[in-house]
Amino acid sequence: MRALRHFAVYRCAGCDRALPVSGVLCPDCSERFRREITAPCPICGVPEIECGCFADGKKSPFERVMHLAGYRPFGVAGRMVLLCKDNRDTPLLDFLSALAANEIERRLRPSGDSVIVPLPRSDKARRRAGFDQSAELARRIAGRLGIDYADALEHKGGRIQKKLGYRERMRNAGDAYSVRDEVTLSGRRVILWDDVVTTGASAAVCGKLLHKAGVTHIDLCTLTRTVRKG
């Protein structure tokens, strides 16, 4: 079965080829992934893994922004993100969380007052998959960095974001998310985490909600950022 490492056959998360030994990517996809994370950002020209641009070059509401690669549906990074959404594939989650933790350590320099907060999936998506991949990755990243994890945001429902334009997404996200009453983050440095940012609407709304809750420093970190054509 595809990308499930607890079976005897290990398969590449990038192309689904059988691997001779346990692992995540075959040599060809490892090279493709390296090219994806070092490809120039279409906005600023800096390699994607070093880029600090927000979605589509919009003005960022965050202190700092980082992502690991551009999201392309048929790219290696894009395929790994899609696999994470539906498969609780431990080696793949370990691989991506280790990569993200290394880059967060290098670029954001988290400290003792840092806390990682995931953008939650909708209840419907979580029930379908059986877990929340964003939260699962965030927990692993927090553990690797030795910082706190907080399930601070709640997804209350709403229309499916991918079918909406940016302004519609902003309005929808404003109704879809809230900060949990029992969570106190005032005075903490928050790393807002998601697996992919498309228009940035959900992240921007969640950032505003966290600011209203007393957070003064928020960085945004995602695995991928959608690459627009043209």
What pLDDT, on a 0 to 100 scale, did the predictor assign at position 9? 62
What is d(CA 221, CA 62) in angstroms, rounded to the nearest whole number? 10
87-110, pLDDT tens digit by residue?
777 889 999 999 999 999 999 999
Residue 71: closest CA among 81, 60, 61: 81
For 169-191, give the DSSP string.
HHHHHHHHEEE-TT---TT-EEE
Please enumerate in sequence order all residues whose Cβ is within 8 A of that of 111, keeping only pairs 6 or more positions apart, or say none: 189
Instruction: Specify whether the CB–CB gap between 3 and 89 falls below 8 A.
Output: yes
Question: At which residue do the structure tokens 């960095």 appear?
Answer: 145
What is d(CA 10, CA 22) in angstroms, rounded to the nearest whole number? 6
Residue 67 CB neighbour total at 10 angstroms: 28
**Strand 148-149 and strand 114-118: pairing?**
parallel
Q: End-to-end alpha-carbon separation of the chain, Å?
A: 37
What pLDDT, on a 0 to 100 scale, did the predictor assign at position 174? 63
Residue 112 CB neighbour total at 10 angstroms: 10
Find the helix or strand (DSSP H, E) in which 20 lies. Answer: none
Question: At which residue do the structure tokens 């054509």 appear?
Answer: 229
Show me where the domains of the chain are located: 46-226
What pLDDT, on a 0 to 100 scale, did the predictor assign at position 164? 55
DSSP, res 143:
H
pLDDT in tens, the chain (230 residues): 444 444 446 889 999 999 987 789 999 999 999 999 999 998 899 999 999 998 877 888 899 999 999 988 789 999 999 898 877 778 899 999 999 999 999 999 999 999 999 999 888 878 887 889 999 999 999 999 999 999 999 988 655 555 556 566 656 666 788 999 888 998 899 999 999 998 888 899 999 999 999 998 999 999 999 876 54
Report phi then psi at 159, rounded to 5. -70, 160
DSSP, res 163:
G
Domain covering 46-226 in this structure, CATH number:
3.40.50.2020
What pLDDT, on a 0 to 100 scale, did the predictor assign at position 2? 47
